[in-house]
Each structure stands twice: as C-alpha cells, then as structure tokens.
Amino acid sequence: MTIDTIRSAFFDVMKKNGHHIVPSSSLVPLNDPTTLFTGSGMQSMIPYLLGEKHPLGKRIANSQKSFRSQDIEEVGDNRHTTFFEMLGNWSLGDYFKEEQIDHVWDFLINKIKLDPTRIYVSCYSGNTNFNIPTDTVSEKRWCDLFSKVKLQALSSKNPEQDGMKEGVKIFFYEDKKNWWSRSGEPAHMPVGEPGGADTEMFYDFDPVNAHQVHERSDFKNQKCHPNCDCGRFLEIGNSVFMEYVKTNDGIAALPQRNVDFGGGLERLVCAVENTADIFSTSTFAEAKKIILENVPSHITYKTHTTYMRIILDHVRAAVFLIGDGVLPGKSAQQYFVRRLLRRSMVAANAMQTEGECLVKIADIFIQQYADSYDTLKKQKEHIVRVIADEEKNFTRTLSEGLKKYKQYQVGGMTNENAFDLYQTYGFPLEVIFELAELDGVALDKKIILNMKEQHSLSSRTASQGMFKGGLADTSAETTALHTVTHLLLAGLRSEVSEEIHQAGCNITHERIRFDFTFKEKLTDEQVRAVENYVNNALQKGFQTHILTMSKQKALDLSVEGSFWEKYPDEVTVYELVGNDGTVYSRELCGGPHINNCNEVKTKNGAIPTFVITKQEASSQGIRRVKAVLQ
C-alpha cells in the first residue's frame, strides 16, 4: 500500500461509520493570527470541541497537511519530518471511547492489515490531584479486541520500571505521556483550555531482538517499552478523549464528550512497509532516486544518510508551503521556507549534486501529490520557479559561507565562529562538525549545542508571544469580543470604505486591537458611524449562523475574507443576522464565536456599548484601532 491508498483506506473506514470527509485546511491558518502554521488537524476544530455546532454534523474526518517548524532541527534521524499529513477523525458529542477504539482497530488491522502481534497500546493512569480517573474503559476495550485475534493482553502499570513482559500489550502512563491539551498536562493548562486522556497505538519494528537499540544509543542501559525513544517502537495513532476543561477551581467536564484522533500518515506507511526509517519508504523512493542520479557514484544513502534525509524532508515541506502561498523571505513564516531550502542546498553541496537538483526533486513531489492536492498541480510552474530562484540566489551565499569557513580556519576556528556559520549562513551544525573533524579542528560540541539551545529558547519565546497575539484565550468574554470584531470590520467596510480588509488582531477578555488596510486616519464622524453600526446590531439583537458552501458561492455573496486562493473549495462562513433579518456580517473565519447577542450582556443583564478608544498607524498602509465593550 502507498501513502495514497492508506489515506483512501482511512476515508473508507470513516465514511462507512458515518463521517463527513472534509478537505485539508491550508498550512497557513486562515483568520487565525495565534500560530504561524497549521501543526495538527484539531487546530481548526477547537470551537466545535468546546461545544459550537459543526455545520456538517457530529462525525468529521480528514487528512490534514501539517508543518511543525520546531522539528526542523530534529530532521536527520529516521522518524522526524517537518511536513506530514495527519489522518484525523472527530466525534463531537457523539460516540466515545469504545466505538473510537473499534474504528481504529478496523482501520489498522482489517483495512491496512497490520499484524496485531506488532501492535501495542497505552492508556492514561489518572491524576488524583484533579480527580481524573484511570482509563479502565479503554483498557477493557483493547483487551476484548486483542482476545478476538487470540492474543492475551495483560496490562503494565509501571512500564518505565518493568519494561517489556510476556503477554503485556497495554501500558499505563501518567500526564506527560497520555494526557493531551495544547498546553500539556492538567497543571499547566490555562483556564478555558480543553483536554483529556488519550490512548496511543504503537508499532513494534523489532519483536525478535527485544532489546536491540536502533539509531539511539542513549537508551542502551534503560528498560525498553512502547513509549521509550530507543527506536524500536513508533507511535502510529492517538485517540484523545477530550471531555474536560480547565476552570478556576481545577478540572471540570465539558458540555459534551469528544473524540479527537490523529494518525501520522507517513508513520503508517512505515508500519505497513515494516521499515523504521520514514525516508526508506515508498513515499520518498522516487525523490531519493533523483538525488542518487545527480551525485558521484561513491555517494549513497548509507554514506550520506543525514544529508539525504534533510533534502528529502525540506524540499517536500517547501513545495507544500509555497503551494499554500508562503514565499521565501524575511517574515516569520517566510523565514522557514527560506531556511528549509538553504539547509537543503548546504546538504546538496556536501553531496556534490549536479545542476538544479532541488528543482528536480520538487517536481517529483508535485507529481506524486498532484492527484490528492490539485493546488500543487495548478501551481507547479510557480513552485518550481520560486525554488529555482532561491537555489540560484543562495549559491552565492553558500559560496561566501564556505569562504567564511576557510577564513575562520586561518585565524583559528572557535566555537563562536562555528555558531555564526550555523546562524548567519544556514549551515547545519552536523556539516560544521564534519568539516572541522576532517580538518582536524577541535570544537566543543557541548558549548555550541548550548548556544543553539539558548537561540531556540529565544525563538520559542517569540513564538509564544505570537500565540498570544490572536485570541488570548477561549473564555466567554474573549469569544464575545471576537464575534464583535466581525461587526467592527463590517462597520468599517460599510461606513468608511469597501477597500478595507483585516490585517491582524489581538483580542483579550478586556479589549479588541484590530489592524486594517487603510491609508488615512479615521475622522471623528467615521469613528462614530462605525460605533453606531456595531451598537445597532447589539441593541437590536443578532444570531450567529454557520454555513458551509462552495468557495465560488461565497465569492458571489461577497463574503468578506482575505487570501481566497488559500481556502479549499468548500468554506465555512459565519453570518451575524439581526432578529429582523438584517445581515450585519458575513465572513470567513475559524475561531470561536458566541451563538447570539445575549451572550454579550453584562453581569447585570444589560447590553454593553461598543466604544473605539484609540486609533493609530500600525505600519505603512495599515491603521489600528482599539475598542472595548463598556
């Protein structure tokens, strides 16, 4: 089975069980300034997990394109990729643990024919501090399913200490392993954050040599178990039972119990083909062949494994990011595309590739995924041209970097010099270490890696700041203000100019900060007119309607939205409709919303007044207003 047939097999199982298959969202979150990239399938599902009704029902499934920029440094081992597809299915207040585990078993064992003797699972051991029970329901369901294929399924309550034991198929872990929320374990969750216990599925690549360590020697003296990192086991799926929310008093039940499943598609290919190396699967076979056809004959995958893995992962990721509209550049998102391509070029140079090798590899990936993602097919020439231009432009920088390396050599290569090559010229540290070793230069890897870690911490801090740049939380107050922001934009377009579009926002439970495209300062009359527009909707009352329609129909209805080319053919539209039928706002969006104007009322039951408190220039051609409900 290939990556395409496994994806199709998953959809078959989901459709058979009443799920509506939805298209993948863009890698760039739309109308969501809280994060740089889409890193999981559940990102766009948060409003529905919190109780908002999905327009397509309670059973949803898809294969979501995902990019995790934080994994860029991990690429080079046998399992990390920056870009991947996440198979997902959701039950929104419908079925729960037993039925979900049945779906997963049907897919893994019956549909794609994985050997059940190679499958192990984990369950949540509970948290007494928050009165969250041990997940014995999942344990029992797994036991029943294993018994149907004549396998004994004992449980281990302390796998880190006990390791693998005969007949044990179910392993219990605490918060760090088997609890899921965007913020981690229960103690770290902010108020309003949903979360829940999960059950994970692992594939065993080495049942014969039970203690054989693969690529990681760090674990040779530790007990082996499914959730260790020695390389023997690979997590291939995770069902999160999202039934809790953090409150000021601790952990409470959500209004509905949800299921959120994620299965790494590339990892499932590994299991089907029984290879622990993602880059040795059929997914990368054609691209790998292109690389080997463009390097000297003495260079092989075995001799240059890390370099080849970097090229294979990074070029594929760049193809998809460019296809979703992210060009190489200096902004936060653009930086990652540029970095992917430059790391690829450094690796290609080390392998002595000929010609525009990256362009050839990109073309292979476009062909390979074109049937599943027609955006790549439509933008083939554009994607190839962007990569060719970047490859051409960086050749000079790469040459300068190598010259810089030689200059440092003359004066005596230092740890600071080495980190400068990594940070300024985009050289992977493993390349610098190898060059230094070949030249007999002594570098302190620990010091350099510590410098890298400090740089990564700074980057993560910046990313966390950006996360807070959208909706600060999903509290009732913030959600209400987010919905009012729709009215603000509609008011600006109605009372000031139809050329106005959103350019960014920051919403907390106290205020709105909203950026929009406009070159001039608003007059006092315009400010009052916009306030009146919003207050009229609040006073007369409105309902929030969620509509699913074709992108073309949305365009025909003049639905407000930016970057239309990034949206799938089927879009979700939020309408704010007055009690008298007046349509106050009609906009594409992906965040949480209130159901009607009554949820905007103050504690004493009054409808608050919308007031613009400040306006200023944000950047060239962009204005900013701040507003509150009082």
Low-confidence ranges of the chain (pLDDT < 70): 30-34, 208-220, 428, 430, 434, 455-474, 562-568, 590-591, 602-603
- pLDDT given at position 147: 97
Summarised one tens digit per residue, pLDDT across range 478-533 is 888 989 999 999 999 999 998 898 887 888 888 999 988 888 999 999 999 999 99
Answer whether CATH 3.30.930.10 is correct for domain 3-273: yes
- At residue 19, the pLDDT reads 98
As to burial, measured by CB atoms within 10 angstroms (0-12 exposed, 13-18 middle, 19+ buried), residue 98 is middle
Question: Contact, 541 vs 578, CB < 8 A?
Answer: yes
Gap between the terminal Cα atoms of the chain: 60
Q: Is 452 exposed, middle or buried (0-12, 13-18, 19+ CB in 10 A)?
A: middle
- What's the pLDDT score for residue 246? 92
**C-alpha neighbours within 13 Å on the C-beta side of residue 18:** 9
Give the model confidence (pLDDT) of 412-434 as tens digits. Answer: 889 988 888 887 777 767 678 86
What pLDDT was estimated at residue 232?
Answer: 85
Angle at which helices 445-467 and 415-425 cross, to 10° = 40
Separation of alpha carbons 92 and 256, rounded Å = 7
Predicted confidence at residue 590, as pLDDT, reads 66
Residue 144 is classified by DSSP as H
Q: Give the pLDDT confidence score for residue 467 in this predicted structure.
A: 37
CATH class of domain segment(s) 476-629: alpha beta
302-319 pLDDT per residue, tens: 999 999 999 999 999 999
In what helix (H) or strand (E) does residue 121 lie, and over which residues does it extend?
strand 119-124
